[in-house]
Amino acid sequence: MLNIAMVSRWHVHADQYAKEIGETPGVKIAAVWDDDISRGEQWASALGCDFYEDYDALLANTEIDGVAVVSSTNLHPQLLMKAANAKKHIYTEKVLAFSKNDAEKIREAVVKNNIHFTISLPHKTMAGVLQAKKMVDGGEIGQVTYMRVRNVHGGSILGWLPDYFYDKTLCGGGAMMDLGAHPMYLLEWFLGTPQKMASAFTQVTGRGVEDNAVSVMSFENGAIGVSETGFVSFCDPFTLEISGTKGYIHVQDGFRYKNEASNKEWVTEEHLELTLERPIAYWISSILNNTENKLYGIDEAVALTEFMEAAYRSWEEDKIVPCG
């Protein structure tokens, strides 16, 4: 039996992660820690496990194999490094940390202690994204020259987004730090590390952090990448657009493309069959089978932090900045 501790119920996805873990055969949620004691005690009671007020005491429990960290992002460096140094396997919500410096310290602890680490990058499992990746890697649209990823919702204008998502101390920012992470790691997955980045952030609802944001980046091969995100969109379909020297891919409520092989005619794929394990399942599988994580691992987590740090630095300094 693999024993997992849930570390904080702060994030909106905490219950979802607990459900995924609890429904996995051979895996048990054995403990809960939370910086909010009342919240943690209630969650532990609902999950039928022990609550720990002392995080160090939880990590000292040799029966705990891993931790799923779903805390506010400002607590990540402390919680993750302690868990790694206690040789607990780690699953964490994105982003890893606010700065590359802190991210590198976490990576050092993860590598040093040889633990299985996974960060939540769920958009890599989307069928349309997987089909696009297959086509790009297979050269079906030639060399990529432009890639745009839009990931938005209307949480700020519709009133359902929790107030703490506007707390810069806890979150490090607003829409870009939260929803904007998804376009950023997809751009890294398809195109690698950009050379330069420029950002434009605005506040539509005046909550103290950006709720509308775009970052544009250039890559060594000449490609341009665009990350669009926000909490103020009435209509919020995920959008992926990739243009290459020999074709074009468009993902939005479906998958379609045109390329040389299609004689420049639109082809719509109705039934996409490519699948990929969601990050939680991938993490558990990597622990049980002692396999390397090349999709949601520590290197991908550090790269995402680099992207985020550059995006915010560009906006704060009002200039194009180097990245990587």
- What crossing angle do the helices spanning 100-113 and 298-317 adopt, rounded to 10°? 170
What's the confidence (pLDDT) of residue 155? Answer: 95
What's the confidence (pLDDT) of residue 216? Answer: 98
| Cα 203 from Cα 129, distance rounded (Å) | 29
What's the confidence (pLDDT) of residue 40? Answer: 98
What's the confidence (pLDDT) of residue 56? Answer: 98
Residue range 95-123: mean pLDDT, rounded: 98
Q: Give φ, ψ of 322 to 5 degrees.
A: -70, 155
Residues 6+ apart with CB under 8 A from 318: none
Please give the mean pLDDT across all residues of the chain: 96
Residue 118 Ramachandran class (φ > 0 left, ψ -120 to 50 alpha, else beta): beta
Q: Taking 80 as the threshold, does the pLDDT of residue 101 lie above it? A: yes
| Cα 182 from Cα 127, distance rounded (Å) | 15
Amino acid at 236: D
In contact, 123 and 132? CB cutoff 8 Å: no
Sheet of 66-69, strand order: 50-52, 27-33, 2-7, 66-69, 89-92, 117-119
What's the confidence (pLDDT) of residue 128? Answer: 96
Q: Taking 80 as the threshold, does the pLDDT of residue 242 lie above it? A: yes
| Cα 108 from Cα 66, distance rounded (Å) | 18
Longest alpha-carbon distance in the chain: 64
Q: Taking 90 as the threshold, does the pLDDT of residue 236 lie above it? A: no
pLDDT per residue over 5-19, tens digit each? 999 999 999 999 999
What's the confidence (pLDDT) of residue 270? Answer: 84
| Cα 270 from Cα 249, distance rounded (Å) | 14
Amino acid at 32: V
What percent of the chain stands above pLDDT 70? Answer: 100
Q: How many CB atoms are closer than 10 A to CB 98?
A: 21
Q: What structural domains and CATH numbers belong to the chain?
A: 2-115 (3.40.50.720), 123-275+305-322 (3.30.360.10)
Which tokens sit at 120? 């939540």
In contact, 12 and 18? CB cutoff 8 Å: no
Per-residue confidence at 273, pLDDT binned at 50, 70, 90? confident
Residue range 113-119: mean pLDDT, rounded: 98
What's the confidence (pLDDT) of residue 49? Answer: 98
What's the confidence (pLDDT) of residue 64? Answer: 98
**pTM, to two decimals:** 0.96
